[in-house]
């Protein structure tokens, strides 16, 4: 509606000022305090957002310090816009102060400017425009200020224990147009307990690689001790042949009786492991073919023969696929010492399948090698049918407001929408713009901020009318 758009335009300065006020508060998770489950900074940001909301004339509610919301309108049903005020640490190397909210070249620079303080304030001002225009809504609207999105979303967990989920809504915490499908995520360890009394010519002191299960590891290190010089020379010769055959970037160094190995790969996000080069899986085939102890060999053999450099789960028979994409598998971390061998795996599976479709096969295969699955965690897929009213309405608004095709996206990652039922990710990043969240020099373009407030105002109206 032009009316909403014009009113947003007229509130531009006030919106910019409000965003500056909230980004100037450092809201990184910290020690809990009384009534402040995620620490003082996060609580200060929540208080600021609620005071801005009430100065705009909205009723506000603070839900135990875990979350707050601004509310407008009456009705049986509730429309929710779910954003968050907590931020990840700023890191170093900023060209402007990370909590300064300075404006340069039409951009507000600050940690949280695009993730997610700017966008949730934009939604608040979109709702303000509806209120200013005296537009009657048939439903209640809540703008949610989450405070724990970056650290487990316990804000939403707490809210759902107190109140029911909105009937429909969106989160301005990803990208445009609309993410209708988010793959399921499985995280787990595959473990073998080793018999440390077994004596072997080649003694593996440790293997260590990767920093997180959901990142493709770019290094893997190993130390082995070999007392027999003849065997030691053979291992080094085998390594040279292996490098020649594969072209992998593996180095070694001799230190007294030890050989220290290190392989180098290429890091990538765990939801797109095919874009990386897995340093762990580069090294393991070499280990498999030298004379290591039998129980460790079983562990290594399982990984090399059933996964290898493949990232789709083909050998395991779990290469699932549907209209939302293919399964992806990342071997993110490895840790072997004298008692235990373990890898951490991260799998993203397409939305029409469930965790058993993946885990049943994987588990029985692993068990046939004497391995165990431990620490299994599941984030279920998110999926809205393409003809769901929420999807249709947001597509209509997006097309009207931007003139762009409201294409529906499927992603391997998980957004805030996964935590709250009936919510879908909608913006704030426009197609073709670089991702800025969690990065140095994070900013929001003021023009985009205003466009977001207009789109969100119209979306709220469309959903709540
Ligand atoms: Zn976010």
CATH assignment of the domain containing 393: 3.40.630.10
- SS3 call for 171: strand
Domain-ending residue, one of 358, 375, 392: 375
Of 177, 173, 21, nearest in space to 84 by CA = 173
Catalytic residue positions, numbered: 86, 149
Say if residue 163 is in the same domain as residue 208: no
Contact assessment for residue 22 and residue 83, using Cβ atoms and an 8 Å cutoff: no
CA-to-CA separations, 60 to 8, 18, 32, 56, 217, in angstroms, rounded: 21, 16, 23, 10, 45
Residue 394 Cα distances to 77, 102, 272, 397, 442, angstroms? 18, 32, 27, 5, 27
How many other CB atoms sit within 10 Å of the CB of residue 139?
18
The Cα 199–Cα 300 span in angstroms is 18
Ligand 1 centroid–CA 173 distance in Å is 5
Pair (43, 143) in one structural domain = yes
Q: Are 389 and 370 contained in the same domain?
A: no
Residue 326 Cα to ligand 1 midpoint, Å, equals 25
C-alpha 375 to ligand 1 mean position (Å): 26
Rg (CA), the chain: 26
Same domain? 306 vs 448: no
Total domains present in the chain: 2
Report the separation in Å between the CA atom of 87 and the middle of ligand 1, taken as the mean of its atom positions.
8
Ligand 1 centre to CA of 115 (Å) is: 5
CB contact at 8 A, 57 and 29: no
Span from the CA of 439 to the centroid of ligand 1 (angstroms): 12
Q: Are residues 81 and 96 in the same domain?
A: yes
Start-to-end CA distance of the chain, whole Å, equals 12
Question: Which pLDDT does position 196 carry in this prediction?
Answer: 79
Both 271 and 388 in one domain: the answer is no
* Distance, CA of 136 to CA of 12 (rounded, Å): 23
pTM above 0.85, yes or no: yes
Specify whether 288 is located in the same domain as 394. no
Q: Give the per-residue pLDDT at 33.
A: 96
Q: Residue 309 C-alpha to ligand 1 middle, in angstroms?
A: 32
Looking at residue 195, its pLDDT comes to 87
Contacts of 102 (CB under 8 A, 6+ apart): 96, 108, 109, 110
Return the closest-CA partner of residue 111 out of 437, 449, 417: 437
- Do 191 and 338 share a structural domain? yes
Are residues 257 and 215 located together in one domain of the fold? yes
Segment 414-452, tens digit of pLDDT: 899 999 999 999 999 999 998 888 899 999 999 999 999
Read off the tokens for 421: 């039922």
How close is the Cα of 96 to the center of ligand 1, in Å? 21
Does the structure show a pLDDT above 80 at 198? no
Which has the closest alpha carbon to 371: 309, 326, 305? 305
Phi, psi values for residue 413, rounded to 5°: -80, 180
Residue 351, domain extent: 184-375
Label residue 463 by pLDDT band (50, 70, 90): very high
- The token duo for 269 is 């996000």
**Boundary residue ending a domain (347, 375, 403):** 375
- For residues 146 and 188, state if they share a domain: no
Query: CA-CA distance, 52 to 451, in Å (whole number)?
Result: 20
pLDDT per residue over 61-109, tens digit each?
A: 999 999 999 999 999 999 999 999 999 999 889 999 999 999 999 999 9
How many Å lie between the centroid of ligand 1 and the Cα of residue 41? 17
pLDDT band at 369 (very low <50, low <70, confident <90, very high): very high
**Average of pLDDT values for 110-136?**
97
Residue % of the chain over a pLDDT of 70: 100
For residue 253, what are the β-bridge partners?
260
Pick from 174-178, 224-228, 293-297, 409-413 the range whose average pLDDT is largest: 174-178
pLDDT level of residue 20 (50, 70, 90 thresholds): very high
Q: How far, in Å, from the CA of 418 to the mean position of ligand 1?
A: 12
Neighbours of 233 (CB within 10 A): 11
Q: Are residues 336 and 361 in the same domain?
A: yes
The last residue of a domain, from among 360, 375, 390? 375
Average pLDDT, the chain: 96
The CATH number of whichever domain residue 256 belongs to comes to 3.30.70.360
Domain co-membership, 165 together with 84: yes
Sign of dihedral through CA atoms 256, 258, 259, 261? negative
């Amino acid at each position: 509606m032009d009316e909403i758009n014009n009113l947003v335009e007229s509130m531009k300065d006030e919106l910019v000022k409000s965003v500056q006020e909230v980004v100037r508060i450092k809201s990184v998770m910290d020690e809990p305090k009384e009534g402040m489950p995620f620490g003082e900074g996060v609580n200060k940001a929540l208080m600021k957002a609620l005071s801005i909301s009430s100065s705009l004339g909205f009723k506000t509610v603070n839900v135990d310090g875990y979350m707050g919301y601004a509310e407008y309108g009456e009705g049986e049903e509730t429309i929710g816009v779910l954003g968050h005020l907590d931020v990840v640490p700023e890191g170093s190397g900023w060209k402007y102060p990370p909590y300064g909210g300075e404006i340069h070249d039409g951009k507000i620079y600050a940690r949280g400017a695009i993730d997610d303080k700017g966008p949730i304030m934009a939604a608040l001002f979109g709702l303000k425009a509806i209120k200013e225009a005296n537009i009657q809504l048939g439903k209640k609207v809540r703008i949610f200020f989450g405070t724990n999105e970056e650290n487990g979303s316990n804000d939403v967990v707490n809210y759902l224990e107190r109140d029911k989920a909105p009937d429909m809504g969106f989160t301005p915490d990803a990208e445009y147009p609309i993410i209708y499908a988010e793959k399921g995520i499985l995280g787990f360890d595959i473990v073998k307990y080793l018999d440390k009394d077994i004596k072997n010519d080649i003694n593996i002191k440790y293997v260590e690689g990767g920093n997180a299960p959901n990142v493709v590891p770019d290094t893997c290190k190993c130390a082995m001790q070999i007392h027999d010089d003849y065997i030691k020379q053979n291992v080094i010769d085998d390594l040279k042949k292996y490098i020649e055959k594969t072209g992998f970037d593996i180095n070694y160094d001799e230190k007294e009786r030890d050989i220290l190995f290190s392989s180098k790969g290429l890091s990538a996000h765990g939801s797109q492991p095919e874009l990386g080069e897995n340093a762990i899986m580069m090294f393991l085939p070499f280990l498999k073919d030298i004379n290591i102890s039998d129980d460790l060999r079983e562990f290594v053999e399982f990984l090399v023969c059933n996964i290898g450099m493949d990232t789709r789960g083909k050998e395991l028979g779990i290469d699932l696929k549907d209209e939302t994409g293919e399964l992806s598998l990342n071997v993110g971390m490895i840790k072997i010492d004298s008692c235990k061998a373990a890898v951490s795996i991260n799998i993203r599976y397409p939305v029409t399948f469930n965790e058993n479709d993946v885990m049943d096969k994987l588990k029985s295969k692993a068990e046939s090698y004497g391995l165990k699955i431990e620490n299994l965690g599941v984030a279920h897929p998110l999926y809205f049918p393409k003809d769901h009213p929420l999807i249709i309405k947001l597509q209509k608004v997006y097309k009207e407001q931007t003139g762009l095709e409201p294409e529906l996206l499927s992603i391997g990652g998980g957004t805030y929408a996964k935590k709250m039922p009936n919510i879908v990710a909608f913006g704030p990043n426009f197609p073709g713009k670089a991702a800025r969240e969690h990065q140095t020099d994070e900013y929001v373009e003021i023009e985009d901020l205003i466009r977001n407030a207009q789109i969100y105002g119209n979306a709220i109206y469309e959903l709540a009318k």
